[in-house]
Structure formats: structure tokens, C-alpha cells
Amino acid sequence: MFKHKITQQFNKAVNTYDAACDLQLRVGTNLIERLRLHYPSSNLMLDLGCGSGLITEKLTEEIAFNHLYAVDMADQLLSLAKKRLAHRAVHFACRDFNTFSDKNNCFDLVFSNMALHWSPALNNALANIYRQMDLNGWLAFSIPLSGTFSELTEDSRNHFYTEQVMLSILTQLGFICVENWISVEKQQFPSWLTALKSIKQVGASHVQQRKWHSLSGNDFIKRLVSGPQIEPARLTYRIGYFIVRKNGQF
């Protein structure tokens, strides 16, 4: 059910995602620029949570590769990615992070931009990624951390891990951290309604623990916004970047 609801929200954003994903695009571009310094070319690359393919396209331009697999669970966004990357040798699969597998291949580079937090069990998703990588494979990903959407009430935002917890999970699974850093992005909007719509327009509006489902107008905003509803409105994103490699000893 959780997976179905997330997929549904992202598919609903198929006509608005590209125009509204400035932050995701900026974060993904930053990650690719740093990744290129460590790992500029790949034989077999995997992009998990490719969405409409905007960042996947940048990945193909900045990282040399022989083969690339692009995976997303939202089939309508994946259709956009297929059209965008029709001129490139990219293989597409409509799967989620926990169940994706390719028994015939081991990836030397796995990339994921602002997507892994949608897994209902992040430990399992990262463990699955680890299994899909070759002995000395690399993983580069960005993910919202604790402090993201601090302006919203606790029951109107998903749970985000701290940097320390993320590093602990990666270490326990057998990854070696090469580089990690945090950036804080603050987006300003003319009103809270516009701010909340910006989340919906990129398909990120599903909240797992939400106790209510359908509100509108001022009542809707009062339930979501923590503290005084001062306008213009602002949303904070605390983004963690992680570039790690698989420990070849394991």
C-alpha cells in the first residue's frame, strides 16, 4: 500500500515535475560534479529513482559509461525519461529499490538523487544496492536529512535520518565513506499554499504517518504549518550527500 501511494503521487506529477524540480536538479548536479572527481567513468552504471530523466541525462553527459540502467517505480515519469534519453543507450526498468535486481550484471557505479528516502526500509534498500554492486563498486546518493521541512508540523512530514545515522547504516553494511557533506537549501514562496503546492508538483506529497487525508483552504494550511503562518513562506531542505565505495574485503 505504501509503495502504491507513493507511485500514485509521482505519477500525478508527470505534467508538473520538470518545471518544479529546480532543487532536485541543483542537488543532482552538485552530486555529479563531485562524483566526477572520484569516479569519472563507469562500465556498468545504475541510476535508482531516475524520475523524468533530467538528472539521468546530466549523468550521461558528465560520467563516461558503457552501459546504463535507469530505474523508477513511477511508470509515467519513466515514460518521460525514455523519451528524453531515446538517443542514448539506456536500459529502463519500472521497479522499486528494495526488489530491483539484475542477476546477470554487477554495477561498478550506483547513483541516486533525492530518491532513496522513499524506501519504506532504507536499510534493506541499501543492502540490496550493496548486493548489486561489484567487489569495488561505488555508490553516490543525495537524500533529505533530519531538519528538512522543519517549518511543517511533525505529522505532515516524513521521518528523515540524521547524518550520523546514515553514516552508521552505511558502515554496518560494509561501505567505506569517501566523502560526505551537507547543504541547507531554503526556498521562499509568496504564500504557504504555493509552498505546499511546490511539494505536490514534484510528487513528494505522500506522508506515511499522516492521520488525515483530505483538507482544503485555510484549515489545510493550519494543520500543516508549524508556528505562525508568516508569509512569504519558506521551506527548508537539509540535504545529505554521500559518496561511498564497497569494501572489497567483504
Over the stretch 54-70, which tens digit does the pLDDT of each residue have? Answer: 999 999 999 999 999 99
| Residue pLDDT, tens place only, 7-47 | 999 999 999 999 999 999 999 999 999 999 999 999 999 99
- Residue 75, CA atoms < 13 Å, CB-side half-sphere: 1
- The predicted model gives 236-241 an average pLDDT of 97
pLDDT value, residue 250: 44
pLDDT value, residue 96: 86
pTM summary value: 0.92
157 pLDDT band (50/70/90 cuts)? confident
* 229 CB-near residues (< 8 Å, 6+ apart): 192, 221, 222
Q: How far is Cα 14 from Cα 16, in angstroms, rounded to an integer?
A: 6
∠ CA(96), CA(107), CA(83), 5° rounding?
55
For the residues of 135-194, what is the DSSP string, one character each? EEEEEEEEEE-TTTTTTB-GGGS-----HHHHHHHHHHHTEEEEEEEEEEEEEEESSHHH
